[in-house]
Amino acid sequence: MSARRRLGARWRRRRPLRTRLAVMAAAAVAVVAIGVCAAAFFVIRFKLYQQLDQNLAQSATLIAQQHHAEGPGVVTGECRFLGAPACSQVVPANRAADPAKPYLLPVTEPTRAVADGRRAPYYANFTLPGGKPGRMFTTTFGKGEAVQVALRADIAERGVRQAASLLSAVGGAGVLLSAVGGYWVSRTGLAPITRLTATAERIAATRDARHRIELPPGPPGREGHEDEVTRLATTFNTMLAELEESVAARRRLVADASHELRTPLTALRTNAELLAKADLLTDAQRDRASGALGRQLREVTGLVNDLIELAREAEPQPLLEEVRLAPLTVHAVDAARGHWPAVPFTLRVARDAEGLCVPGVAARLSRLLTNLLDNAAKFSPPGAPVEVSLTATALTVRDHGPGIAEEDLPYVFDRFYRAEKARALPGSGLGLAMARQIAHAHGAELTAERAPGGGALFRLVLPVG
Ligand SMILES: Nc1ncnc2c1ncn2[C@@H]1O[C@H](COP(=O)(O)OP(=O)(O)O)[C@@H](O)[C@H]1O
Ligand SMILES: [Mg+2]
């Protein structure tokens, strides 16, 4: 049993799905074809003999009526001819009572058993002396006697033979057709899977996610009305599109980053080369060069750190937790106060926002907030307040600086984008890109506006529920 199961498992492992499906479909159809043919054969045979058996039973009744007084021995003549009436004989239970004349029909132990009532009447096929097929009915006659009635069975016999050969031909054709059908079913049924496999293999080999699986022509089926393979192919294509997008996004990030790093690195090298010839410089020149070098180094470091942050696309699932926003905001504002002592920060937390929780990563959310607060402080004129407010649905950061020009508004969240006027201030242009990315990862929406009365207003709309 277990050996057979192991064998089956090995068979399943070795054969390709297509062969397995073809063999299984063919086998199922073949079993049905053979079963139907066998059933038809038995029904036909039963019907053919039923007629004959009824004749025999009638003859037996007739003989019992007409010859009940006769003793053992042959009652009616030979049944050598096709159309001849039934031949019959009476057989005693006791062998000693047998007549002197030989019997016409074969007398066996079951015949005697019927005669003395030990056995029920029965039908049997036998061969007539001339080699022709016959059918015989044995039933009880008088007390301790049996009557045997026989007829030639050529017609029934021939019918059965013909039925057998015809039905085996039909069954054989059925098996052949089922083999062809199984092959066809597996070919057409698995064609989309074959295409899917080929596409997946091509992508694995070329590492090119631009390939797509061809979907069946025609309008896409309504939701839930497509077959499984089409749905699988659609899902696979969606996945490929996302993969392609993600690969492209990373490629853009790397291209942008190397482009943006080139300028500060060139400046850095110039200053480093200048300092290498320090003995040719005046003290003032040396101080200026080393100051610039330090600043540029910090800038590049900041840029690289921001890039690393930005490259982390999705939040790792295990770090997700319920983050309480009110304390997180308080903490971020306190940190900003320490960082920008000259800027007065005001914080207002609405009463219904005090217990507000969102699922997310606390460190990332506070990074988002820090980026907004840093920008606000950076662009604020001396002494102007930065106003932070948290309600149950949104978090806003507003400053009284120059604000964002109308034409810059669509771009401030782009990577490395810095408005004309902001280029003099330190920064990488990555802060807002990162902030928006963190917001999206948390299901929130981050937007920039021009605040009424001047200044910039950043609004983080929280996911509700
Ligand atoms: N509070 C603000 N006031 C005015 N302009 C802003 C403000 N915040 C951001 N910006 C504009 O958006 C640009 C992108 O901001 P950000 O991505 O943080 O880069 P960075 O701060 O490094 O310049 C800034 O260069 C500036 O032009
Ligand atoms: Mg910034």
The domain tally of the chain equals 3
Task: Give, in order, the Cα–Cα distances in Å from 149 to each of 55, 158, 329.
Answer: 10, 21, 110
Average pLDDT (365-387) is: 94
Query: Does the pLDDT value for residue 223 go beyond 70?
Result: no
Q: Which atom of ligand 1 is nearest to the CA of 430?
A: 17
What percentage of the chain carries pLDDT values higher than 70?
92
Distance, in Å, from the CA atom of 148 to the CA atom of 89, rounded to the nearest integer, reads: 5
- Centre of ligand 2 to C-alpha 374, Å, is 6
Q: How confident is the model at residue 165 (pLDDT cuts 50, 70, 90)?
A: very high
> What is the number of the ligand 1 atom nearest to the C-alpha of 374?
21
Residue whose CA is at the smallest distance from ligand 1 atom 4: 403
> What rounded mean pLDDT belongs to the chain?
86
What is residue 464's three-state secondary structure? coil
Whether residues 243 and 365 share a domain: the answer is: no
**What confidence score (pLDDT) does residue 441 get?**
87
Same domain, 273 and 397: no
For the chain, how long is the longest CA-to-CA vector? 157
Q: What is the mean pLDDT of residues 390-418?
A: 93
**How many whole angstroms from 422 Cα to the centroid of ligand 1?**
7
Select from 255, 282, 308 the last residue of a domain: 308
Any domain includes 214:
no
Q: Is residue 349 part of a domain?
A: yes
Is residue 111 domain-shared with residue 39, that is, in the same domain?
yes
| Mean pLDDT computed over 28-33 | 92
SS3 136: strand
- One domain, residues 48 and 149: yes
Q: Answer with the one of 290, 308, 326 that is the final residue of a domain.
A: 308
| Residues at CB less than 6 angstroms from ligand 1 | 371, 375-376, 379, 399, 401-404, 412, 417-419, 422, 427-433, 456
Query: What percentage of the chain has pLDDT greater than the value 90?
Result: 39
Last residue of a domain, which of 288, 308, 328? 308
- Residue 10 placed within a domain: no
Do residue 149 and residue 246 come from a single domain? no
Stretch 175-201: mean pLDDT: 86
Query: Is the residue at 41 inside a domain?
Result: yes
CA distance 366 to 388: 14
* Owning domain of residue 411: 315-461
Find the ligand nearest to 429 CA.
1
Find the angle CA(236)-CA(240)-CA(245) to the nearest 5 degrees.
150
3-state helix, strand, coil in the chain (%, to 5): 55, 15, 30
pLDDT tens by residue, 429-459: 889 999 999 999 899 999 999 999 999 999 9
**Centroid of ligand 2 to alpha carbon of 298 (angstroms):** 15
The pTM is what? 0.55
Quick one: 24 and 148 in the same domain?
Answer: yes
| pLDDT band at residue 322 under the 50/70/90 scheme | very high
What's residue 296's pLDDT? 87
Calpha distance 57→408 (Å, rounded): 110
d(CA 456, CA 312): 28
User: Within 10 Å of residue 138's Cβ, how many Cβ atoms?
Assistant: 27
Return the ligand 1 atom nearest residue 399 CA. 1
Round to whole Å and give the CA distance between 247 and 128.
Answer: 90
